[in-house]
Structure 1
């Protein structure tokens, strides 16, 4: 390839990425959570367009089937499987994992893309604060249940979608283990930021564990940018004022909103992290490049990452 990686820009589309790398995913299997809408749907479409068998897990089979119809109108021969997965429900996650494993196919790329942001205070079916429960714990359990398959399919990748909210909405002290469920007070954006830092710390601890086991699995996390998707469905005027009052860096926020992305560009970092041969293990990406400017001060805190992993296991073990 004569192209230089410098040709990949912040405004490159997801389709630009696979064209740049001449990506061929024939025979590869990809799971993308939250793939019925927004950047998840676009990620699924683009990866299916280059031959991947894409698992479309949604809260209902109807949503999964709708996503499949949408993709097949553009890619009639797309290889897609719709499945049910509710990340707010441990029993649903276990059922999904078992049903996927029963398919007896590899798992080459797992993209933990689904998420919710700044929702009113609520708890999951299993009693976890909803943002922490869905954004972190649900995906944490999914990875745990599929780790053996990822190892058997190596080289494989885990791509975890985080957000600049990990630093924008959360103090430099990082995870407050005494407020995982909003016990000391509920801030919609503060708890969102905490769940997004959890995503980053999870990625780093996972990579350390895989490396110590000599597993050929690459784990990265990313910020897709400011994209107009259903993620922002809770952002009414009141919520926006709350968001602005919570932000730590207005300049970064203004830069984000002034560079608002469409879905085609917003999905590009998902796809870049999934297919690029230039990926660095455990790194944090944004705009198709490593970005450390958007990281919380505790993003490289190995002790915090290890504690989060252990606490997550303990919380989930009470319900399994």
Structure 2
């Protein structure tokens, strides 16, 4: 059955292939007000899940819900506020969700940020590092006990093929996680945050396994998707790519496979519902991928170091 799923299988087709029934299941999809996240939320609600729709404002959540209801009128959706640039709202979101006394079967950490200049959040963190990694790291910590209590459960973390392309072969630059060094590069900052996603997913999986808890954690590259988040490949981005990319030919091959949001959401949906998902693995184009995974992705010491740094920063 899984053999019928190829790189350009749409997300909605995934749940048809697996005859997915998520009735009684609860899902959170961060960044579900637009783009890939909106399609992930729509498809999982089509499969019967109750889906939490968090956005920076409740107005955006309600707009997303209205969009989903146009094609899934029976969808069970809950609007909530979550701003990953403000960790006080991350804590408030977790508190409000836990107050609903619901299980948490699937957490999709989909939200992301790309910004072309160095900006710090109100908590003092470089924005891409804060939104793409630290905010989601905090969210998982706050919801971890609920996720374990809901086992078998899943956490899906959206990374990028640029986890490998935009970091040196030696791995993560721990001295520049927060943009401390001069000469800010939007893409390099993004690449660092995406390698953080990989380390977070793999260390999470190791910790759940050590506790004997049936939680499946995966990370993924959604593909070359033109969304409101990235605005497409501009000349300045392309120039930055040529300056910093380690594997230009691989990146160009990826650019030759453009995806709309229906295709961009498919790997996330596959990781959320497939009975064949491998714990701790990195997925791309609806299958396990090692080609676009950084050479140091399995470095346990680096992952533990990032975990400790993240915990200390959040204190």
1:71-82 counterparts in 2 under 5 A?
A: 71-82=68-79
Runs of 4+, deviation exceeding 6 Å = none
Alignment match, 2:271: 273
Q: Which runs of 5+ in 1 are unaligned?
A: none
Alignment match, 2:230: 232
Paired residues in the alignment total 314
Partners of 1:294 and 1:177 in 2: how far apart?
21
Partners of 2:99 and 2:116 in 1: how far apart?
35
Alignment match, 2:214: 216
- Shift of residue 56, structure 1, vs aligned partner: 0.4
Alignment match, 2:259: 261
For 1:163, which of 157, 160, 164 is the aligned residue? 160
1:299 corresponds to 2:297: yes
1:17-166 counterparts in 2 under 5 A?
A: 17-166=14-163
Q: Indicate if the aligned counterparts of 2:224 and 2:257 stay in contact, CA closer than 8 A.
A: yes
- Shift of residue 244, structure 1, vs aligned partner: 2.8
How far does the alpha carbon of each residue in 1:227-257 deviate from its partner, in whole angstroms, 9 at most, with x for none? Answer: 0101213854223211232211121111111
Q: Which runs of 5+ in 2 are unaligned?
A: none
TM-score by length of 2: 0.98
- Shift of residue 169, structure 1, vs aligned partner: 1.1
Q: Indicate if the aligned counterparts of 1:221 and 1:283 stay in contact, CA closer than 8 A.
A: yes
Partners of 2:228 and 2:143 in 1: how far apart?
27
3-state secondary structure, aligned to 1:285: strand
Query: CA 1:243 to 1:35, structure 2 compared with 1: closer, same or farther past 3 Å?
Result: same
TM-score by length of 1: 0.96
- Shift of residue 145, structure 1, vs aligned partner: 0.1
How far does the alpha carbon of each residue in 1:71-105 deviate from its partner, in whole angstroms, 9 at most, with x for none? Answer: 00111110000100001111000000000000001
Query: CA 1:17 to 1:234, structure 2 compared with 1: closer, same or farther past 3 Å?
Result: closer
Structure 1 stretch 10-19 or stretch 184-193: which is displaced more? 184-193
Partners of 1:178 and 1:241 in 2: how far apart?
25
3-state secondary structure, aligned to 1:230: coil
